[in-house]
Amino acid sequence: MLSLGLAVSLLAVSCALWPAAVRAASCETVRIPLCRSMPWNMTKMPNHLHHSTQDNAVLAIEQFEGLLGTGCSPDLLFFLCAMYAPICTIDFQHEPIKPCKAVCERAKLGCEPVMKRYNHSWPDNLACSELPLYDRGVCISPEAIVKADGPDPYHQDPARCNPESSPDFPMDSNNLHCRGPDGDRCRCKSVRMNMRTYEKNNYNYVIRARVKEVRNRGLEPTAVVDVKEVIKSSLVNIPKMTLTLYYSSSCLCPKLTPGEDYIIMGYEDGETSKLLLIDRSIAQKWKDRIGRKVKRWNQMLHKKIQGRH
Each residue's pLDDT tens digit, 97-118: 889 999 999 999 999 988 988 8
Q: Is the pLDDT assigned to residue 137 strictly greater than 50?
A: yes
Cis amide linkage into residue 142, ω under 30° from 0: no
Express as a percent the part of the chain with pLDDT over 70.
71
Per-residue pLDDT of 2-30, as tens digits, reads 443 334 334 433 444 344 433 434 789 99
17-21, 184-188, 227-231, 260-264: the lowest-pLDDT one: 17-21
User: Model-level pTM?
Assistant: 0.46
Cα dihedral 225, 267, 189, 263 sign: negative
Residue predicted with more confidence, 127 or 25: 127
Give all domains of the chain, ordered by start, each with its CATH number.
Answer: 26-124 (1.10.2000.10), 193-305 (2.40.50.120)
Q: Torsions phi, psi of 212, nearest 5? A: -95, -40
Q: Binning pLDDT at 50, 70 and 90, where does residue 39 land?
A: confident
CB within 8 Å of 32: residues ≥ 6 apart: 54, 57, 58, 61, 81, 84, 85
- Residue 14's pLDDT is 40
> What distance in Å separates the CA atoms of residue 108 and residue 115, rounded to the nearest whole number?
10
Instruction: Please state which of the ranges 112-121, 199-208, 244-253 shows the lowest mean pLDDT.
Output: 244-253
Distance from C-alpha of 55 to C-alpha of 12, rounded to nearest angstrom: 25
pLDDT of the residue at 162: 37
In the prediction, which pLDDT does 149 show?
Answer: 38
For the chain, the helix, strand and coil percentages under 3-state DSSP, each to the nearest 5 = 35, 20, 45
* Mean pLDDT value of segment 121-142: 82
DSSP state of 135: T
pLDDT score, position 188: 76
Q: What pLDDT score was predicted for residue 91?
A: 60
Q: What share of the chain has pLDDT > 90, as a percent? A: 28
User: Tell me, what's the pLDDT at 227?
Assistant: 95
Quick one: CA dihedral 136, 137, 140, 144, positive or negative?
A: positive
Task: Provide the pLDDT for residue 192.
Answer: 83
**Distances, alpha carbon 267 to alpha carbons 16, 213, 272, 281, 305, in Å:** 39, 20, 12, 8, 20
Convert the pLDDT of each residue in 163-190 to its tens digit. Answer: 333 333 333 333 323 333 333 446 777 7
Stretch 230-235: mean pLDDT: 89
Name the band, by pLDDT with cuts 50, 70 and 90, for residue 309: low
- The per-residue pLDDT for range 145-158, each reduced to its tens digit, is 644 334 443 333 33
pLDDT of residue 237: 86
Helix (H) or strand (E) segment spanning residue 77: helix 76-84
User: In this structure, are residues 195 and 242 in contact, taking their beta carbons and an 8 Å threshold?
Assistant: no
Does residue 291 surpass a pLDDT of 90?
yes
Let me know: does 277 contact 225? Beta carbons within 8 Å: no
pLDDT score of 256: 92
Lowest mean pLDDT among 60-74, 88-102, 174-188: 174-188
The per-residue pLDDT for 92 is 57
Q: Which is more confident, 168 or 274?
A: 274
Write down the pLDDT at residue 244: 92
Q: CB neighbours of 212 closer than 8 A, spacing ≥ 6?
A: 224, 225, 226, 242, 258
